[in-house]
């Protein structure tokens, strides 16, 4: 439901209503909470799945007030939760500039059991910076890491 960058035609009320109804159906029985990630991890129990989408280390440390965020602290929470049987999914930087720039984060050996490269399209930051220029060489792939 993200809004495209720049001038665009908004979706119709009917289309938005359909999306909201679908979201309601798919999330039925799900609990959403607004709290610090450390508290969320402490509440997680065996069999729960925690999805983490932290500020990306390569570009987003300047955004969202992320200057105080510590990826190392998050990794420690993930490790502790995994030891309790909580399943954790982490999306984080992967590659950009169509694979010419890889962003590597060192994670403890064995913390994540599976990794997938997810193509997410063009770089949103580069869309703003390049002001209408071609973004053909700006394909971004995120890393999706699973502890299970």
Q: How deeply is 29 buried, as exposed, middle or buried, from its count of CB atoms within 10 A (0-12, 13-18, 19+)? A: exposed
The band of 134, judged by pLDDT with boundaries at 50, 70 and 90, is low
Dump pLDDT digits (tens) for 65-115. Answer: 556 778 889 999 999 999 999 999 998 877 655 444 455 567 899 999 999
- Per-domain residue ranges of the chain: 32-146
pLDDT at 67: 61
pLDDT at 17: 94
pLDDT at 50: 93
pLDDT at 118: 85
pLDDT at 40: 93
Q: Identify the architecture of domain 32-146 in CATH.
A: 3-Layer(aba) Sandwich (3.40)
């Amino acid at each position: 439901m993200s809004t495209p960058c720049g001038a665009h035609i908004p979706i119709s009320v009917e289309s938005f209503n359909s999306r909201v109804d679908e979201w309601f159906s798919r999330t039925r029985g799900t609990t959403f909470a607004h709290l610090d990630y450390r508290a969320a991890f402490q509440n997680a129990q065996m069999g729960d799945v925690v999805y983490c989408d932290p500020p990306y280390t390569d570009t987003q440390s300047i955004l969202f007030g992320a200057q105080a965020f510590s990826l190392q602290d998050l990794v420690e929470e993930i490790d502790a939760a995994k030891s309790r049987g909580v399943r954790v999914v982490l999306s984080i930087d992967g590659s950009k500039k169509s694979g010419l720039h890889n962003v590597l984060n060192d994670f403890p050996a064995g913390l994540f059991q599976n990794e997938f490269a997810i193509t997410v399209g063009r770089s949103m930051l580069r869309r703003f910076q390049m002001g209408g220029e071609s973004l053909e060489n700006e394909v971004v792939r995120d890393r999706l890491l699973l502890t299970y």
